[in-house]
Amino acid sequence: MFHLARGLYNNWNKKEGLDNAVKSIYNPDAKIIPPERITTTVGQNVGHIQVNKTLLKFWDVGGQESLRSLWEEYFTHCHAIIFIVDSTDRERIEECQSNLTKIINNDSIESIPILMLANKQDVEDHLEVEDIKEIFNVIAEHLSARDSRVLPISAIKGDGLKECIDWLVIRLIRNKQNRPPRFK
């Protein structure tokens, strides 16, 4: 989870300005990047945030097709997966569904929580969370009893971010026995 979650966290940071939102909520003294300077993640990034007594390390792994083959390398180490969907990109929603299906069907992620974020909820003509849930219900049968959730966010504005992190921390603490933390 370490690299994948951190990578996804950085993906928020690079693509949509989530980094600024996280920094302002969890580390108010951090340097804020102007939204116009935020770019797509190429490769991976790593970041940390402290939430009460829990240190979260996120791996932001780029979503480009050429990088997707690397995702599986992170599964054995991850403790949760955050999958971000661009709510305004209706043309690629089926591609997102296909990629999440591949992730969920991987045996290495059994019993870990999966959080899907419907990003860009602040942009006009976005898919509503209910619409995205309906599209992804097709793969819900593969989740069995695993914790999973679809939540709305606006990475630029930071809307929904605290709720996402709170949901994630609760699941990570709850799942410590199945996937104990690794300290390095």
User: Is there a binding annotation on residue 106?
Assistant: no
Residue 24, SS3 per DSSP: helix
Cα of 179 vs its chain's centroid, Å: 18
Q: Is 41 annotated as a binding residue?
A: yes
Q: Is 160 annotated as a binding residue?
A: no
* Structure confidence by residue, pLDDT tens digits, 96-120: 888 888 888 888 888 888 898 999 9
Q: Residue 89: CB partners within 8 Å, gap ≥ 6?
A: none
CB 16 within 8 A of CB 27: no
Which residues are registered as beta bridge partners of 44? 61
* 120 annotated as ligand-binding: yes
Question: Which of 16-20, 24-28, 41-45, 175-179 is the most confident on average?
Answer: 175-179
> Is position 122 annotated in a ligand binding site?
yes
Contacts with 31 (C-beta within 8 Å, 6 or more apart), sequence order: 23
Which domains does the chain show, CATH number per domain? 2-174 (3.40.50.300)
101 is in an annotated binding site: no
pLDDT in tens, 2-20: 445 555 555 444 444 444 4
| Cβ burial, residue 16 (10 Å; 0-12/13-18/19+) | buried
Question: Model-level pTM?
Answer: 0.76
